Amino acid sequence: MMRNTITARLPHMRKARDWDVMPIEDGRRILVQTDGAIGIFDFRTGVGKLCTRGGYFPHLAIAQRCTFPPEFVRECLRVCPSLGGETTLDAGHIVQHTVRVIGDEQ
């Protein structure tokens, strides 16, 4: 199974982490998530929000504005699955790759 992850160190972090990379259904943004941090950004501009004090969706509410480094954005685009894509795991489990955000101001 292909993992949609990259290893990178972002600003305000001590060490590199493995980031899960997922597309947002609007077709403009990418969600990145790791143990203890979460971020969302527009892949065209690299501008978004990053929270390094928690890695779950509610932490996006307290996330700070961040410009993601161009090399990080490029790597995310390289491994990001297609919108609406899915992966079948062993035992027939299906993982949907697109994140649907409800009530998010853009």
d(CA 99, CA 30): 9
pLDDT tens-digit readout, 5-45: 999 998 778 899 999 998 888 888 999 999 999 999 999 99
In this predicted structure, what is the pLDDT of residue 48?
96
At 13 the pLDDT is 85
* The pLDDT value given to residue 9: 92
pLDDT tens digits, one per residue of 40-86: 999 999 999 999 988 888 898 999 999 999 999 999 988 887 766 66
d(CA 22, CA 76): 9
Q: Look at the pTM and tell me if it is higher than 0.85.
A: no
How do the domains of the chain map onto residue ranges? 18-96
For 13-44, give one letter per residue: b (16+ CB within 10 A) or e: eeeebebbbbbbeeeebbbbbbeebbbbbbbe
Give the bridge partners for 22, in sequence order.
31
